[in-house]
């Protein structure tokens, strides 16, 4: 297989441009509506005697997680819809380029637009608020650690919804949420049963731990040579490095095997 | 150019193709005919990599279609029966999509748009069904892909456009290019498609050139109902019967595609016998 058939920068840039322009009208309408809502919230908050220091951080969190995850769920709509699937699949770009273009748009692209857009909106809104009310909320500052940690969490959550977007044909967002919910119940149940069986001597009733607080009891726990703190640190590291690449890779393989008989 | 061997394909539990084999060569405009549900569109989709075979080998220009390599995709253009065009005008569409086709011929594209009298500034999604089809035919030809697949291309075209279509496709059929036209509108394709492929019940039951058809078969009009043992196919007309028989006197008569199709579908064994060197009488 020639390398050119996997990734070509020129072709990828054309594809990226096409993918962005494909939804530009909807994007602009949503952007306009969101801007109007943000200004309204900002004006109402500034009108209050005690303008908020955290207004834009809260808005950013909501935009990134609610907006970003919904947008991610729709990222492969063109590939699943009967009318558009054929055009998309036959477009002369590789499966990897098609995957990567949508990945860039829904991760770095969405985060960057949100970050820059909100910064500009916050400057404009608070400028207007200062003129009208003579006071303003704190301007959005994208250069804080909190923002970048939040974005890292978004990339991990996004990977799950990206897989859902590639996998499900319809109602991707709701279906992904349902799957997460079911998995969460399963994991919680299995963990609870595991702890109840392995550490049975710590329990008084069916699920009641004797004496002191749960945290103190948990600190006593160990799994052989591995301390619980060590285990938690390992899980934290795994959380940062495993899920996103794993779900993105599965999504890529899903895109490779899409046929038009799957389109509805 | 296209080699299909021992292809099996099914939609869930409904088998469509079983052990289908087919070889198609460049320089031809193949007519792909078959009854409703015979699998014409599915076959085109398998060739273009939109559907994957369950078993067997499909080789198109030395590519495996289901991998959908870009080099493969830019060398094949599939005009489906139902399609979607975005809310762009012709110029913006060209700017967005033509860069993916390295051999795209902008001059040819403009010529064809002019020939079909398509407006350049109107949004494509506001075109009529026929205009959309003409636009995609123009774009497809301008892409200069070596394989051009058309599914029911004359549906929705008015009479002058059908004439234009035949002329444009005939001139697009170069020796390096393979065109497959799947259609029910066989009358629109008279004198255009050659060879003729007919698929029925998951198999290719006929794959012959028009020259061979006119060599082997003859069509006659008779007033009385013919004896069934001597004819391959007959149909009642207002003033008698149209009869398809083995051509024994070596003269050539023109065979209408519709009649040929009916003959092959109603009497596949008789046709097989004639084209494999025997005659209908030997077969009976």
Q: What is the DSSP string of A211-250?
A: SS-HHHHHHH-EETTEEHHHHHHHHHHHHHHSHHHHHHHH
The pLDDT-based confidence of A216 (bands split at 50, 70, 90) is low
The pLDDT-based confidence of B272 (bands split at 50, 70, 90) is confident
The pLDDT-based confidence of A214 (bands split at 50, 70, 90) is low
pLDDT at B83: 87
From residue B146, how far is each of B27, B51, B101, B180 by CA, in Å? 10, 20, 11, 11
- Residue B262: exposure state from Cβ atoms within 10 A (0-12, 13-18, ≥19): middle
From residue B81, how far is each of A136, B41, B71 by CA, in Å? 59, 9, 24
Mean pLDDT of B1-6: 93
pLDDT at B58: 96
Mean pLDDT of B232-258: 82
- How far apart CA B154 and CA A262 sit, in angstroms, is 27
Q: Structure tokens of B1?
A: 């150019």
> CATH 3.40.50.300 residue ranges in chain B?
2-206
Least confident interval from A91-100, A213-222, B91-100: A213-222
Give residues 217 to 256 of B whose Cβ lies within 8 Å of A. Answer: none
Q: In chain B, pLDDT over 70 holds for what percent of residues?
A: 96
Chain A residues close to B70, C-beta within 8 Å: 4-5, 8, 11, 92-94, 97
Point out the residue among B45, B71, B87 whose CB comes nearest to the CB of A5.
B71
pLDDT per residue as tens digits for the range B107-148: 999 999 999 999 989 999 999 988 999 999 999 999 999 999
Biggest alpha carbon–alpha carbon distance for chain A: 67
Residue B283 has pLDDT above 50, yes or no: no
List residues in chain A touching B: CB distance below 8 A. Answer: 1-2, 4-5, 8, 11, 14-15, 17-18, 21-22, 25, 82-84, 86-87, 89-95, 97, 257, 259-261
Chain B residues close to A7, C-beta within 8 Å: none
Mean pLDDT of A137-149: 93
pLDDT per residue as tens digits for the range A161-186: 999 999 999 999 999 999 999 999 99
The pLDDT-based confidence of B24 (bands split at 50, 70, 90) is very high
The pLDDT-based confidence of A2 (bands split at 50, 70, 90) is low
Please judge whether B97 and A18 are an interchain contact, meaning their C-beta atoms are less than 8 angstroms apart.
yes
- Residue B139: exposure state from Cβ atoms within 10 A (0-12, 13-18, ≥19): buried
Residue B280 has pLDDT above 50, yes or no: no
Q: Structure tokens of A186?
A: 């399963």
Least confident interval from A2-11, A245-254, B8-17, B264-273: A2-11
Mean pLDDT of B33-39: 91
Question: Which residues lie closer than 8 Å to B174 by C-beta, 6 or more apart?
Answer: B27
- Residue B283: exposure state from Cβ atoms within 10 A (0-12, 13-18, ≥19): middle
Label the pairing between strands B240-246 and B217-222: antiparallel
pLDDT at B196: 92
Find out whether the peptide bond into B195 is cis, omega within 30 degrees of 0. yes
C-alpha A14 chain-centroid distance: 26
pLDDT at B194: 86
- How far apart CA B70 and CA B228 sit, in angstroms, is 53
pLDDT at A168: 94
The pLDDT-based confidence of A65 (bands split at 50, 70, 90) is very high
Using alpha carbons, select from B213, B256, B205 the residue that is nearest to residue B235. Answer: B256
Fold of B2-206: Rossmann fold (3.40.50)
Question: Which H or E run contains A177?
Answer: helix A172-198
Mutation site, B12, B50, B95, B102, interface A, largest A CB count within 10 A: B50
Q: Where are the domains of chain A?
A: 3-169+220-263
**pTM, two decimal places:** 0.89
Point out the residue among A17, A87, A259 whose CB comes nearest to the CB of B51.
A259
Tally A–B CB contacts below 8 A.
67
pLDDT at B69: 95
Least confident interval from A112-116, B92-96, B155-159: B155-159
Residue B250 has pLDDT above 80, yes or no: no
> In this complex, is the C-beta atom of B41 within 8 Å of any C-beta atom belonging to chain A?
no
Q: Do the Cβ atoms of B234 and B241 come closer than 8 Å? A: yes
Using alpha carbons, select from A172, A165, A180 the residue that is nearest to residue A255. Answer: A165
Using alpha carbons, select from B234, B236, B252 the residue that is nearest to residue B244. Answer: B234
Strands of the sheet with B14-24, listed across from one edge = B14-24, B2-11, B55-60
pLDDT at B223: 84
Using alpha carbons, select from B45, B107, B51, B111 the residue that is nearest to residue B76. Answer: B45
Mean pLDDT of B174-185: 91
- Output phi, psi for A57, to 5 deg: -65, -40
């Amino acid at each position: 297989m020639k390398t050119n058939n996997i990734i070509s920068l020129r072709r990828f840039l054309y594809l990226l441009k096409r993918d962005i322009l494909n939804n530009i009208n909807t994007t602009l309408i949503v952007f306009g509506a969101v801007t109007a809502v943000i200004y309204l919230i900002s004006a109402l908050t500034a009108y209050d005697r005690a303008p908020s220091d955290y207004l834009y951080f809260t808005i950013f969190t909501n935009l990134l997680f609610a907006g970003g995850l919904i947008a991610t769920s729709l990222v492969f709509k063109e590939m699943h819809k009967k009318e558009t699937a054929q055009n998309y699949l036959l477009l002369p770009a590789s499966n990897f380029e098609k995957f990567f273009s949508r990945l860039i748009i829904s991760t770095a692209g969405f985060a960057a637009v949100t970050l820059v857009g909100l910064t500009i909106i916050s400057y404009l809104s608070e400028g207007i608020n200062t003129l009208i009310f003579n006071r303003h909320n704190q301007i959005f500052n994208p250069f804080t650690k909190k923002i970048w940690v939040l974005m890292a969490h978004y990339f991990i959550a996004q990977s799950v919804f990206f897989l859902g977007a590639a996998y499900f044909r319809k109602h991707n967002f709701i279906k992904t949420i349902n799957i997460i919910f079911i998995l969460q119940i399963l994991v919680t149940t299995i963990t609870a049963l595991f702890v109840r069986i392995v550490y049975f001597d710590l329990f008084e009733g069916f699920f009641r731990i004797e004496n002191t607080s749960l945290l103190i009891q948990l600190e006593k726990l160990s799994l052989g040579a591995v301390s619980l703190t060590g285990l938690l640190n390992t899980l934290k590291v795994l959380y940062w490095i495993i899920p996103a690449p794993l779900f993105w890779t599965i999504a890529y393989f899903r895109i490779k095997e899409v046929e038009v008989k799957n389109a509805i | 150019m296209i080699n299909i061997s021992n292809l099996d394909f099914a939609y869930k539990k409904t088998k469509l193709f079983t052990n289908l084999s087919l070889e198609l060569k460049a320089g031809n405009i193949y007519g792909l005919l078959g009854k409703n549900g015979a699998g014409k569109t599915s076959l085109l989709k398998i060739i273009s990599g939109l559907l994957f075979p369950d078993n067997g080998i499909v080789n198109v220009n030395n590519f495996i279609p289901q991998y959908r390599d870009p080099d493969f995709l830019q060398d094949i253009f599939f005009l489906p029966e139902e399609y979607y065009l975005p809310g762009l005008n012709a110029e913006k569409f060209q700017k967005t999509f033509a860069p993916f086709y390295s051999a795209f011929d902008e001059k040819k594209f403009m010529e064809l748009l002019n020939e079909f009298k398509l407006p350049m500034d109107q949004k494509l999604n506001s075109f009529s069904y026929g205009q959309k089809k003409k636009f995609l035919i123009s774009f497809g030809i301008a892409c200069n892909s070596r394989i051009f697949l058309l599914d029911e291309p004359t549906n929705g075209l008015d009479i002058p456009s059908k004439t234009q279509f035949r002329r444009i496709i005939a001139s697009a059929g170069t020796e390096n290019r393979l065109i497959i036209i799947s259609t029910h509108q066989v009358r629109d394709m008279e004198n255009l498609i050659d060879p003729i492929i007919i698929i029925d019940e998951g198999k290719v039951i006929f794959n012959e050139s028009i020259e061979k058809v006119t060599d082997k078969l003859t069509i006659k009009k008779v007033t009385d109902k013919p004896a069934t043992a001597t004819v391959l196919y007959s149909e009642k007309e207002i003033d008698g019967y149209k009869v398809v028989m083995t051509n024994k006197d070596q003269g050539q008569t023109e065979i209408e595609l519709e009649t040929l199709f009916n003959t092959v579908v109603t009497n596949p064994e008789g046709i097989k016998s004639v084209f494999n060197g025997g005659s209908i009488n030997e077969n009976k």
